[in-house]
Copies of this chain bind each other. A is one copy, B any other.
């Protein structure tokens, strides 16, 4: 695994790529806006003009892009990864995307003698920077094991979840748990304020017991401080919930909590909060 190709250098992707570069791997990169790559290039990464150019020289291709249709395009397009990558290469998609698309990539890769893994992550910008992401991996176990040394520079809690698509499905479980909990966190806070309590003091009581959660500890204080800067974008969360609900329907599952969360977040987006952090859900309760 000499050369790693990394496609998609947003907030998450760039930090992940940097950790690999610093671990000593040779890195070729492509992202839509070249300026975003410049500091990485200064650290020794090599720029390529297209996805195809990356694919042709890489032993491992990693992708971290926005939406499933971006994933589809860079894997299946005429100038895409699957047409141009070397036989025996490993393809790792870190994007949170559709399980069914992960399966399609896996099957097409297999036909052509490559190994594909879906490996969505959790832990946000800080986790990406510090190399402490949770990585949820689907695909062949042998391929997972072969890529473990790479994952170990990017994350801490790295779990093989099963066959192709299992990584994406696991990420959906993660998003489902978060979505409904965010409703409870907001409702607890607005209740506290309306009841005339001091919400910070309420957090002192409730954030250590049975109501405790990551969102209550880390996002509730931001809500109270009026800090709605994105750690994780509302627009991406809506995308994820849309995927999860579509999958749930396919599986014959009714998820009323997730459905409610998606409705609330859509109402939030309609009011211009697409680019805010997910903690902006609090505004839906406070301002409208």
A residues neighboring B (CB under 8 Å)? 99, 122-124, 127, 134, 136, 157, 159, 161-162, 166, 169-170, 172-181, 183-185, 187-192, 194-198, 201-202, 204-206, 208-216, 232, 244, 247-248, 251-253, 255-258, 260, 264, 285
- Of B99, B161, B211, the contact of A177 (CB 8 Å cutoff): B211
Interface-central residue, A195, A210, A212, by most chain B CB under 10 Å = A210
User: Is there an interface contact between A157 and B208, defined as CB atoms closer than 8 Å?
Assistant: yes
User: Is there an interface contact between A216 and B264, defined as CB atoms closer than 8 Å?
Assistant: no
Q: Cβ of A248: which chain B residues have Cβ within 8 Å of it?
A: 191, 194
User: Is there an interface contact between A184 and B257, defined as CB atoms closer than 8 Å?
Assistant: yes
24 example contacts (A-B, Cβ-Cβ < 8 A) are as follows A99-B195, A122-B211, A134-B209, A136-B205, A136-B206, A159-B204, A162-B196, A169-B195, A170-B197, A170-B205, A172-B191, A173-B188, A176-B187, A176-B191, A177-B184, A177-B206, A178-B184, A179-B184, A181-B181, A181-B213, A184-B258, A190-B253, A195-B251, A213-B214
Main secondary structure of the interface of A (DSSP, over half): helix
Copies in the complex: 2
Q: Cβ of A99: which chain B residues have Cβ within 8 Å of it?
A: 195
Q: Cβ of A174: which chain B residues have Cβ within 8 Å of it?
A: 188, 205-206, 209-211
Interface-central residue, A178, A179, A257, A260, by most chain B CB under 10 Å = A257
